[in-house]
Amino acid sequence: MYDCQLYLVTPPALDPVAFAPDLARALDAGPVAAVQLRLKDVPDDTILRAIDILRPVAQERDVAFILNDRPDLARRSGCDGAHVGGEDMDAAAARTLLGDQLQLGVSCYDSRDLAMRAGEAGADYVAFGAFFPSVSKETDIRAPVELLTWWSAMMELPVVAIGGITADNCAPLVRAGADFLAVISAVWSHPEGPAAGVRAMNAAIDAA
Ligand SMILES: Cc1ncc(COP(=O)(O)OP(=O)(O)O)c(N)n1
Ligand SMILES: Cc1nc(C(=O)O)sc1CCOP(=O)(O)O
């Protein structure tokens, strides 16, 4: 049995009131380790309103609530942490904004160097991807599975795998040492609904 957990990233352009019951059902079908709120190109007020509505749904279930891109808003709104990538800010700046209590995740794409530097700058996890073509985000990067093998053999810091991950293709990532599998479409676009998506992902992780 591998020690790998599910990490949910929210679907794009969500209405938080309509989405909250879906999130609750998905988390109740868990285990799920973390939820990342990922809202792109919206005003701060919209992000803060979504946090107010969705953060309790996660935290009441002991699921970490992580905010994408905005460590400043994460800190002032009770989130458990923030996730940043290359276009947002460097890891050290994000750590300064978060303080030392909140969790910091850093996108490292397929770069060993970025991951080492993120670790040194105070990241609590690094994320590699995309491992497979993603319908949720355009990217030409194809991270090789060996990156996970290398990282997990060398480092204690947890590693997240992301990008096009499904119940059908995740086994090699689990076996290579991913601590978390981050998914959008495998759960939120599952034909039988998000709870079925969570159950299918966890069954595949257990079977790996
Ligand atoms: C867990 C996790 N890994 C990677 C990403 C991608 O972050 P980033 O490169 O900053 O791109 P956007 O998500 O901001 O489009 C992520 N969000 N979460
Ligand atoms: C948000 C995100 N970041 C990626 C990266 O490669 O850094 S891939 C991705 C989208 C993940 O959604 P899905 O599970 O539907 O492919």
Q: Render pLDDT for 140-149 as a digit per residue (tens, 0 to 9).
A: 999 999 999 9
- Can you say which residues are annotated as belonging to the binding site? 36-40, 68-69, 88, 107, 134-137, 164, 184-185
Q: How many whole angstroms from 18 Cα to the centroid of ligand 1? A: 23
> Hey, what are 46's tokens?
């919209």
Task: Please report the pLDDT score of residue 182 as a whole number.
Answer: 98
Please choose, from the candidates 150, 148, 128, the residue with its C-alpha nearest in 3D space to the C-alpha of residue 139. 128
Residue range 33-38: mean pLDDT, rounded = 98
**Predicted confidence (pLDDT) per residue in 2-19, tens digit:** 899 999 999 998 999 999
Pair 198, 187: CB distance under 8 Å: yes
The interface pTM score, or ipTM, of the predicted complex is: 0.99
The mean of the pLDDT values for the chain is 96
Residue range 162-186: mean pLDDT, rounded = 98
Range of the domain at 164: 5-207
Q: Is the CB of 197 under 6 A from ligand 2?
A: no
Q: Is the CB of 130 under 6 A from ligand 2?
A: yes
What's the number of domains the chain is made of? 1
Pair 138, 130: CB distance under 8 Å: no
Ligand 1 neighbours (beta carbon < 6 A): 7, 9, 36, 38, 68-69, 83, 85, 88, 105, 107, 127, 129, 137, 160, 162, 182
CATH number of the domain that residue 136 is part of: 3.20.20.70
Shortest-distance Cα residue to atom 12 of ligand 1:
85
**Predicted confidence (pLDDT) per residue in 86-128, tens digit:** 777 899 999 999 999 999 999 999 999 999 999 999 999 999 9
Task: Please report the pLDDT score of residue 86 as a whole number.
Answer: 77
Q: Is the CB of 166 under 6 A from ligand 2?
A: no
Cβ contacts of 173 within 8 Å, gap of 6 or more: 4, 131, 145, 148, 161, 165, 181
Task: Please report the pLDDT score of residue 57 as a whole number.
Answer: 98
- Ligand 1 atom with the smallest distance to the CA of 162 is 3
Task: Please report the pLDDT score of residue 132 as a whole number.
Answer: 98
Residue 65 burial (C-beta neighbours within 10 Å; 0-12, 13-18, 19+): buried
Residue range 191-204: mean pLDDT, rounded = 98
Task: Please report the pLDDT score of residue 60 as a whole number.
Answer: 98
- Identify the bridge partners of residue 183 per DSSP, sorted by sequence position: 8
